[in-house]
Structure 1
Amino acid sequence: MTCRRVVAAAALPAELRGGVVAIGNFDGVHRGHQAVLGAAHEIAEREGRPLVCLTFEPHPRTVFRPAHPVPRLTPPAVKARLLGLLGFQAVVEQPFDLEFAGHSPEDFVDRTILAELGAAHVVAGYDFRFGARRGGDARFLAERGASAGLSVTTVPAFTEEGGLVVSSSRIREDLMNGDAAAAAALLGYRWTFRGEIVHGAKLGRTLGYPTANMALAEDGLLAHGIYAVRLRRADGALHDGVASFGRRPTFDNGHALFETFLFDFSGDLYGETADISLFGFIRGEERFESVEALVERMNVDTAEARALLAGAQPLSPLDRAVAF
C-alpha cells in the first residue's frame, strides 16, 4: 500500500478524517514503534476506519537543540514507505517549531486532534507527552476528548529478548559501531536508507569494481567500513552487492561516500534514486600500502558478502517487503 504524505494536520483529506491515528516520531519504525502502529492497525480494521499516522517534522529534539540535530534513521520519504508497508493510508508530517511547541495541551487536543484530524481513536506509546512543557499525556488526551467521543489506547513499552526497551537511540549506537546485525534485530528489518546515485571519482572501475555512489544524508550515523548490501531500484528490481562507506584513505581521504559494487550487473544507474539495505558488516575501513593489496582484500570482501547474502532470511514480514 502507498502511504500518502500530508504536509500538515489541517491538510488531511476529508475521506481520511474520523480515523484511527497513531501518534509519535517513529524514527526508525522499529519493533517498539511497530507495537504502537500494529495496535492502531488492529483497531482501524475492527472499526472500519481510516488508518493515519501523525508525526512531526523536523524531529522535535532537533528543534529544541539545533546545535545537536538528531541523526535520522528514517527520513520522511523512507518512513512513509515503511508505514505504507504496515498498512497506513497516510502520514501527517506536522510542521514542528517553537511556536507549535508552545501550544497548550488543550489547544493540541482541540485543534490538531479533534478539529483538523477529526480523530475517532488515538493510539500512542506509554511515554507520549504533548503540549507546552510536555504538559499533556494520554490520560489528559482521553479526558479532554471524551466529550467529542475520542477513544485513546496507550501501548506499554516494548522490550526485546534481553529485557531491554527497544529505542531509536540504541539503534543509532549500533549503527555508529557498525553493528548492522544488532540494529536489524531491534528494527525488525534490515536498516535501509535512500539516496540518489551520483558520479564519483570512478576509481572503482579502474580496479575492476565499478560502483554506484551515494552521499548519506547523515554522515555521522553509520560507521565507516565494508558492508554486505542489497539495492532496490525504483522499479523494484533487487541487486546484491558489497559496499564501502568512507573516505577512501588509500587514495584521496576525501568526503564520505557510500560506494556499492553490484554483483553480476552492468548498466547506468546515474541519477536514479535507490534504497540500500544493510545485511552485515564485514570490516572497518583500512588504508592499504598498494592498489594490489587493496584489490586482493576487495576480492575477499566480495566473497564474504556473497556468502552472507546467499544465506540471508527475512526477519519479519516487514523485512521481506523491504529487502527481499
Structure 2
Amino acid sequence: MTRTPIWHSASEVPSHLGATAVSIGNYDGVHRGHRYVLSQLIHHARTRSLTPVALTFWPHPRHVMSGKVDPQLITGHEDRDRLLLLAGVGGVLDLEFTREFAQHSAEDFVRIFLVEGLGARCVVLGEDALFGRANAGNIDTMRELGQEYGFDVVTVSDLGPEGQGTGRISSSAIRESLLRGEVETAAAMLGRRHTVTDVVHHGFQRGREMGFPTANLGPTPQGLVPADGVYAGYLTVIDQHPDHVGTAALAGAPATISIGTNPTFTDAGIPQRTVEAYVHDDHSLDLYGDTVRLEFVDYQRPTLKFDGIDALIEQMHKDVEVTRRTLASAPVPEPSAD
C-alpha cells in the first residue's frame, strides 16, 4: 500500500526522500498563481535532480495570530493538500501552526524544517516572502541562510491575469468573487471550478416532498460557500458511507445547487443557511453519510421568497431546465485523486 506523501512534522519525512527543492506558502485555493510557482519549483527540482516539496501550514497563520476566522478560506485542509499533490509536487510538509510554532526565529525555521527536515538544496520563493518570528525573515535573509546552509534561492514573479508575469492573481480576489456569487470569475483565476466538500446530512425533507430530493451539506463544509443563490454544477461522491459500498458512486452528476435560508418557509424557526444539491433525474439516491464534492459552474439566480409551494415548485422546474442548458456546454469534471 502506497502512503500519501503528506507529512505533519519533520520527523515524518522519509529518509529515502533525498535532497529536495522546497516552496513555502499557505496556498489557499491553490490557484493559477500558486501553480505557476509550483511549476517553477518542479522545473528547478528536475534540473537539479531534487524532489519538489511544498511546505505549508494549518490552521492559517492569520487565524491563529488574530484569534479570528478571517479570511474565510477558499479550500479546506484536505482539499488544499490534495490540490498541491495534483499540481505535481513529490510531497507536502503540512505543519501545524500554533503561537508556539510562530516563535521560531527565521534561522531556526530554515535549519529545522528546510535543512534538517527536508534536506533542501533549492528554495523557490516570491520576492515578497516573509518567514520566522514576527515575519523577520525576508528574501535577503533566505539568501544569506542559503549561503550558510548550502542551498540555492530562486525567486519567482507573480503570475498575472494572462499569465504574462504582470499583475497578480490573489486568494483575496478569488474570495471576493465567490462572496459575490461570481463563480465563473473565480474559476478563471483558480484555473478550475470552485468546489466545496462535506458529508451529506439529513435535512427537512422538503425537497423530497416536492419531487426534488436534495443532498444537504452540513453547516461548515470544506471550502468557501459562495453567495446565496441557485447555481448549475456537478456532484461527485468521493467517499461512500460503509452501508453504500458496493453500489455505483456518482461521478460528475449534473446538479442544481441552492444556497440560502429557504425564505419561502418562514415557520421553521431561526433561518439556517444551507447548501443543498438536487441531482437530476434520479430520485432513488441514498447519499446520506457519503462525502460529496460540489462543483460550481455558473450562477443562475438569487434566492427568492415565493408566495406558496406551487410557485416554488414551478420555479424549481425552470431552474433545472436552465441548469441542463448551462451544463450542456460545460465539461463534466474529470476524476481526481483523493
Q: Is the structural similarity TM-score above 0.5? A: yes
2:125 and 2:11 map into 1 onto residues whose CA distance is: 20
Counterpart Cα distance in 2 of 1:291 and 1:148: 69
CA positional deviation for 1:136 = 0.9
Q: What is the CA–CA distance in structure 1 between the aligned matches of 2:197 and 2:227, rounded to whole Å?
A: 17
Query: Match of 1:130, SS?
Result: coil
Structure 2 residue 52 is matched with structure 1 residue 51:
yes
Residue 246 of structure 2 corresponds to which residue in structure 1?
none
2:263 — aligned with what? Answer: 249
Determine the C-alpha separation between the residues in 2 that align with 1:35 and 1:126: 14
Match runs of 1:145-164 below 5 Å: 145-161=146-162, 164=167
- Who is 1:123 aligned against? 124
For 1:186, the equivalent position in structure 2 comes to 189
Cα separation, 2, equivalents of 1:215 and 1:44: 41
Do structure 1's residue 16 and structure 2's residue 17 form an aligned pair?
A: yes
Aligned equivalents of 2:51, 2:224: Cα separation in 1? 37
Say whether residues 1:279 and 2:280 are aligned partners. no
Relative distance call for 1:232 and 1:46 in structure 2 (3 A) is farther
Distance 2:133 2:194 in 1: 33
Alignment-derived partner of residue 214 in structure 1 = 217
Give the Cα separation in 2 of the matches to 1:138 and 1:216. Answer: 40
Structure 1 position 237, deviation (Å): 2.1
Q: Could you tell me how far apart the structure 1 residues matched to 2:37 and 2:4 are?
A: 17
Work out whether 1:61 is the aligned partner of 2:62: yes
Match of 2:307 in 1: 289
Q: 1:142 to 1:2 in 2, by over 3 A?
A: farther
Question: Match for residue 200 of structure 1?
Answer: 203
| 8 A contact 1:3–1:80 mirrored in 2 | no
CA distance in 2, matches of 1:289, 1:186: 39
- Alpha-carbon displacement from aligned partner over 1:147-201 (angstroms, at most 9, x marks no partner): 4321121111221149641111111111111110111011110011211111111
CA distance in 1, matches of 2:209, 2:28: 39
Return the TM-score normalized by structure 2.
Answer: 0.88
Kindly indicate whether the alpha-carbon contact (under 8 Å) linking 2:7 and 2:92 is maintained by their aligned counterparts in 1: yes
Give yes or no for contact 1:157–1:165 (8 Å, CA) kept in 2: yes
- Equivalent residue, structure 2, for 1:258: 275
1:220–1:285 distance in 2 versus 1, CA, 3 Å: farther
Gaps of 5+ in 1: none
Cα distance, 1:3–1:129 mapped onto 2, change above 3 Å = farther
Checking the alignment, whether the CA contact within 8 Å between 1:2 and 1:84 is kept in structure 2 is no
CA contact (8 A) 1:22 1:37 kept: yes
Three-state SS of the structure 1 residue aligned to 2:67 is coil
Two-structure CA RMSD over aligned residues (Å): 2.3
**AA in 1 matched with 2:235:** L
The alpha-carbon deviation at position 83 of structure 1 amounts to 1.5
Within 5 A, what are the aligned runs for 1:219-234? 221-234=225-238
Q: State how far apart, in whole Å, the 1-side matches of 2:143 and 2:20 are.
A: 16
Deviation at 1:236, TM superposition (A): 7.1
CA shift for structure 1 position 275? 1.2
Choose 78-87 or 290-299, whichever is displaced more.
78-87
The answer (yes or no) to whether the contact 2:196–2:225 under 8 Å persists in 1 is: no
The answer to whether the 8 Å contact 1:71/1:221 transfers is no
Q: 1:236 to 1:242 in 2, by over 3 A?
A: closer
What is the correspondence of 1:65-80 to structure 2 with a 5 Å cutoff? 65-80=66-81
Q: Deviations over 1:71-112 (max 9, x none)?
A: 111112101221222112321111112222122111111112
3-state SS of 1:242 partner: strand
Report the more deviating stretch, 231-240 or 83-92.
231-240
TM-fit CA distance, 1:23? 0.9
Aligned to 1:105: 106
Alpha-carbon distance between aligned partners in 1 of 2:251 and 2:263, rounded to the nearest angstrom: 32
| 1:300 pairs with 2:318 | yes
State the secondary structure of the residue aligned to 1:98: coil
2:6 aligned residue: 5
For the 8 Å contact 1:184–1:191, the answer to whether it is kept is: yes
Residue 15 of structure 1: how far off its partner (Å) = 2.3
Q: What is the Cα deviation at residue 320 of structure 1? A: 5.0
Q: Quick one: which amino acid aligns to residue 239 of structure 1?
A: A
Aligned equivalents of 2:324, 2:62: Cα separation in 1: 39
CA contact (8 A) 2:195 2:295 kept: yes
Q: How many residues align?
A: 319
Give the % identical residues.
Answer: 36
